[in-house]
Amino acid sequence: MPKARDIDQGRTLDLHGAFVRRLDLSGASLRDANLTKVDATNAIFRGADFAGARLDGATLKGADLTEAKNLTLEQLARAIIDSNTALPAYIDRAKLVLLTSGK
């Protein structure tokens, strides 16, 4: 896994396809990270910053996204979530369902 200083030096975190089930990434900076097809089932992302992160095909079933920052409906619409995924208070699950029902 990259060190924090690598990310600070302009490199972006690339976890494409990684298996990070049950990993605690609370407070992590995931800005512009590539989380495409990551398996983050039951992972903890409390307070993590998702600005610009790519979540295409990311499995977030049962993940804890409470207090996540800069997470958008559009990002979540590209991910795989379930009823056990804990969303931040500012994300409206009903709007997410409407957005994804057109897939």
Residue 102 has a pLDDT of 63
pTM confidence score: 0.85
Domain count of the fold of the chain: 1
Residue 99 has a pLDDT of 85
- Can you tell me the distance from the alpha carbon of 68 to that of 88, in angstroms, rounded to the nearest whole number? 6
Residue 94 lies in a domain: no
**Is residue 95's pLDDT more than 70?**
yes
- Range of the structural domain that residue 77 is part of: 1-85
In tens, the pLDDT along 59-89 reads 999 999 999 999 999 999 999 999 999 999 9
Question: For the domain that residue 65 is a member of, what is the CATH number?
Answer: 2.160.20.80
Q: How many residues does the chain have?
A: 103
Residue 69 lies in a domain: yes
Residue 18 lies in a domain: yes
Residue 81 lies in a domain: yes
Q: How confident is the model at residue 100 (pLDDT cuts 50, 70, 90)?
A: confident
Residue 101 lies in a domain: no
Question: How much is the average pLDDT of 20-25?
Answer: 96
